[in-house]
Amino acid sequence: MTSALQLPYELWLQVFSFLSWKDKLSMRCTCSHFKRLMDESRPVWRGFSVVLKDLSRYNRPFWRSLARRQLTSVYLRAGKKRDLKLLSVWLPLLEALRLDNWRGNDVQGLKRFHFLNRLTLTACSTPLVNLEFLHPLSHQLTQLSLCNVQLTCPASQLLASISQLTRLGSLLLHHDGSLAIPTLRGVLSQLVNLRFLSWTMINYKKLSQDFFRPATGAACHSGSLSKTLSPRMLPGRRTMAAHCSLRDGLNAEAGDASLSLSDLQLLNYDAAVTQEVLQPLANLRSLSVFHLYSVPGPTCHLQTWLTSLQQLCSLSVHGGHPLVAYADFLPSSLLSLTLCVDLQPEDLHVVSFRTPNLQHLHLEPWSSSSNLVRLLPQLFPCLKTLAIRHHHVSDEDFLGLHQLQHLNTLEILDSFYRPDPNDPSLVVYKPTPRLLQLISDLQKLTNHKVRVITSSHRDALTCACI
């Protein structure tokens, strides 16, 4: 047989690209040849995030190993001020950084990272007096996440600091309700590149009319244009009619200014809203609503959202009213749907009628899935990806998913079991032999075209709220 040393390194790198992160690390430890080959190949580690804690434990060979891989993403737990200096020395190309349980009140060391564009602060035990540390990054950051961070600065100062991040395309702010921000008008007006927004809604009971409406200079522009195109300069009835039409159009544009926002997440939501409030969200394509209460109030506010946003491509609903309360309002443009709610089999028939082109479905009902999985091939024939629970689903219904001709990815959301019936606290987070056999049988029925996922891997830089 041909030895590993005789095969071209390009072939090995292609093989390594199919491995999980865990398998890559295991393969690296098998021999010095693979260790050198993997450490010196940056594409192998593209997208890899390393989790670090207590940096004094790591020696120089460890840091040299990370430096050779040119890692660009780090998750630092319980970090201190001096840790940022050490990171900047060994990993100067760092692009993404998460600081979890930051122990100091000074984050000025972030200015050392000249390529940093993704920053996440979570569960900081020490309050942040201000956000001045963001100023040196104002032209770098494209993603900012602040989750469970204690802020002692006024809300106005917080918004002013965030508004200076002119390249920001993604903003996440999750808090316990202590921040009183009546409207997002100011910050949305400044962040013209913002596409993704995740916001805590726990302290909102009713959204103001200008909550999403950005400040616009269109009205001032139309006013100045009216002076330029005055009746004296434009005599004649037709010209005046054209002038009035142009003026009215500009005023309408000022009143109907739309945001560039395309993806919106609302955390702990239970706020009343009107269609007028949602007019600036005409460009929204993805909406995720995480309701505050499992037992909602008398009014289903989601109806108003769905009525106003008829161009949605993706919808994710967690908690709140049962599906029957808003199923009739689902827009036909939906291609992706996540339902972690109370629902019945008959509700899926309504969803199928309302969303005939659905391609991605995440179905995690509060009740059992046993009567739902069998309906999916007939109701949603266009599905490409599907996420379901398999407990209490019969083998026949599970294998019936092979009828989904376009399915390429199936995710099992409950790949765990309790080996000892007398000890329910003991849980093994691995697929059971029965599930592994079912997966094998399903792949045979689909000629192995369906990829089955039994364990999901979260991005280490994201918070655990969602």
Per the prediction, the chain carries an average pLDDT of: 85
Tokens for 155, please give them. 């809300």
Which pLDDT does position 440 carry in this prediction? 96
CA–centroid distance for 371 within its chain: 30
Which pLDDT score, from 0 to 100, does residue 4 have? 64
76 - beta bridge partners?
Answer: 52, 99
Cβ-based neighbours of 171, under 8 Å, separated by 6 or more? 143, 144, 145, 162, 191, 194, 196, 197, 198
Q: Name the band, by pLDDT with cuts 50, 70 and 90, for residue 301.
A: very high
Quote the pLDDT of residue 12.
83
Residue 47 one-letter amino acid: G
pLDDT level of residue 424 (50, 70, 90 thresholds): confident
3-state secondary structure (DSSP) of residue 84: helix
The 10s digit of each residue's pLDDT in 49-73 is 899 999 999 999 899 888 888 888 9
pLDDT reading at 429 higher than 90: no
Q: Does residue 238 register a pLDDT over 80?
A: no
* pLDDT band at residue 221 under the 50/70/90 scheme: very low
pLDDT at 18: 80
Cβ atoms of 225 and 197 within 8 Å: the answer is no
pLDDT of residue 253: 42
Residue type, 444: K
Residue 175 and residue 148: Cα distance in Å, rounded?
5
452 SS3 class: strand
d(CA 185, CA 198): 15
pLDDT tens for residues 164-205?
999 999 999 998 887 888 899 888 888 999 999 999 999 899
Q: Which residues contact 136 (CB under 8 A, 6 or more apart)?
A: 110, 111
Parallel, antiparallel, or unpaired for β 143-151 and 170-174?
parallel
- Tens-place pLDDT, residues 71-125: 889 999 988 888 999 999 999 999 999 999 887 666 778 989 999 999 999 987 6
148 Cβ neighbours under 8 A, 6+ residues apart = 122, 123, 124, 174, 175, 176, 463, 465
**452 — pLDDT class (breaks 50, 70, 90):** very high
Residue 434: band (very low, low, confident or very high) from pLDDT cuts 50, 70, 90: very high
Both tokens assigned to 301: 């506010």
Question: How many other β-carbons are positioned within 10 Å of the β-carbon of residue 318?
Answer: 17
pLDDT of amino acid 3? 67
Q: Give me the helix-helix angle, 32-39 and 9-16, nearest 10°.
A: 80
Q: Is the pLDDT of residue 284 over 70?
A: yes
Would you kindly state where each structural domain of the chain is located, as residue ranges? 9-43, 50-168, 394-466
Predicted confidence band at 383 (pLDDT cuts at 50, 70, 90)? very high
For the CA atoms of the chain, what is the radius of gyration?
27
Q: CA 359, CA 148: separation in Å to the nearest integer?
A: 34
If one compares 419 and 319, the residue with the highest pLDDT of the two is: 319
CA distance 341 to 243: 53
